[in-house]
Every structure is written in structure tokens, then in C-alpha cells.
Structure 1
Amino acid sequence: MAELTPEANRAARAILKWSVRDLAEKAGIAFSTVHRFESTGSATESTKEKIKAAFAAHDVEITNGNYTGARLLLHRTKD
């Protein structure tokens, strides 16, 4: 699974139009924890997993292609 970076975290929040408070609520962590991670990159692996799970629950995936980032997963419908 891709490494969560502060940049990818901000990108994923932007895709979902979530504030830091929105992400904290959805991930079940403190606002200050999300703010600290985005500011310093410091977070436990457990915290990062909670954040990634919150994004995944809303079809946003953290990616590490040539650069770190996030993308919205599109589900194909059967015709």
C-alpha cells in the first residue's frame, strides 16, 4: 500500500472537499493530529492507517507513482 505523505493527505482532502476537521472526524482522530501531520509529517503508522481507511471508505486512494498523490476511484457501471 502507498505511503501517506502530508502532500498526498492534502490532495485527498481536496478531492473530497474535506477540511482538516472533516478528516479528523471521519478517521476518528484528533484535529490536532491531522494538523500536526500535515505541518510536520509526524504521525504514527496507526494514525496513517486510520486516515487512509477514511479516504478509502470514500473511494479515494493514496498513490505513489512517480510522485505521491491521491486519486478518486471511478466505479464502472454495467451497460
Structure 2
Amino acid sequence: MTGNQIRAARSLLGLSQAQVAESAGISVPTVKRAEGSGAINASADAVAAIRAALETAGVEFIAENGGGAGVRLRK
């Protein structure tokens, strides 16, 4: 998972960084660090919490499979 995917998932869901942080049980600065450009600058536990919160809210993360990593709304 990349910072761009986190940002895109949050955007698709119409959630703020604060809302994701609250759902994930982490701080807003941690969400900001995870969304930063380049490598994710947050702990593995924080990234897992963000991912779980976003997936629970209705997105799917798409792995790199030749077409590029991405995110989409779950049906």
C-alpha cells in the first residue's frame, strides 16, 4: 500500500484525515505521515489500522499487478 492509495481511498469515501484517524484509533499527524510522498512514514501497526478503517468504510486496495496499484469502491 502506498501513501497515494491511502489519499485516494480517503478521497473516494469523502473522509477527512481527522475522520480516518478517529476510525483507525491513531493521530491526525500519523495519517498525514502515511499519506506523504515517497515511502510511507508510519509504523506497520498504524498503516494496518488505516487500511482496516478504510476497508471497513468501503474501499478495496488493488495490488500492483501490471496495471499499477490502486483503490476502488467496494460493490
Compute the TM-score of the two structures, normalised by the length of structure 2. 0.85
After superposition, the C-alpha distances for 1:14-58 in whole angstroms (9 at most, x for unaligned) are 110011111111111000001111125211111111011101112
Runs of 4+ in 1 over 4 A off after TM superposition: none
| Structure 2: tracts of 5 or more residues without a match | none
| Structure 1: tracts of 5 or more residues without a match | 75-79
Aligned length: 71
Alignment of 1:1-79 (within 5 A): 4-40=1-37, 41-64=40-63, 65=65, 66-74=67-75
Compute the TM-score of the two structures, normalised by the length of structure 1. 0.81
- Highest RCO, 1 vs 2 (Cα 8 Å, sep ≥ 6): 1
The CA RMSD over aligned residues, in Å, is: 1.2
Identity of aligned residues (%): 35
